[in-house]
Each structure stands twice: as structure tokens, then as C-alpha cells.
């Protein structure tokens, strides 16, 4: 897991982070992680499959009938 050090954080910002963390009943570190997660990975983003479905819809959509092969793979011969 990665670590991040933030230098020169103002006392006001640190205090506001502590207050916000307390409001959400978590540590300041957990609050910072949540803020970063929400800002760089928004829940409203469109995922690739959804984007492709939107692109294909004007052309009648895309209906893939696929079946997964459940046959176990043979182990490699390591001789």
C-alpha cells in the first residue's frame, strides 16, 4: 500500500479535517483517504461497458450471446 506525506498543511485545514473526521466518526487519516477517493474516483463516472452500450444503442444495441468454457485448464508441462 502506498503512503503519502502532505507537508505545510495549515493549522486551519488540519483542524477542519479533524472536525470533519469526527462528524463522520472516523480518524483524520481515514477522512483524508475518503476525501481523496471521492475526488479522484467519483461514483458518477461512466464505466467502459456502459459507455460502449450507449454508443451501440443508436445502431440497435449489441447482444452478445457468450458462454464461458468451464473446462479446467491443463497445468503446464514444466519438464
What gap in Å lies between CA 69 and CA 60, rounded to an integer? 28
The predicted structure's pLDDT at residue 45: 77
pLDDT per residue as tens digits for the range 12-65 = 999 999 999 999 999 999 999 999 988 888 777 778 888 888 888 888 877 777
Crossing angle for the helix pair 28-40 and 11-23, to the nearest 10 degrees: 90
- Which cell is 40 given? 479522484
The predicted structure's pLDDT at residue 22: 97
The predicted structure's pLDDT at residue 15: 97
Ordered structural domains, the chain, with CATH: 11-59 (1.10.1220.10)
User: Backbone phi, then psi, for 17, in 5-degree steps?
Assistant: -65, -40
The predicted structure's pLDDT at residue 79: 83
Please say whether the beta carbons of 61 and 53 come within 8 A.
yes
Please say whether the beta carbons of 32 and 17 come within 8 A.
yes
Amino acid at each position: 500500500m502506498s503512503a503519502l506525506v502532505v507537508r505545510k498543511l495549515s493549522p486551519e485545514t488540519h483542524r477542519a479535517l479533524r472536525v470533519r473526521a469526527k462528524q463522520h466518526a472516523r480518524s483524520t487519516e481515514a477522512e483524508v483517504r475518503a476525501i481523496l477517493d471521492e475526488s479522484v474516483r467519483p461514483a458518477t463516472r461512466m464505466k467502459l461497458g456502459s459507455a460502449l452500450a450507449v454508443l451501440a444503442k443508436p445502431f440497435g444495441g449489441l447482444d452478445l450471446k457468450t458462454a464461458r468454457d468451464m473446462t479446467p485448464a491443463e497445468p503446464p508441462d514444466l519438464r
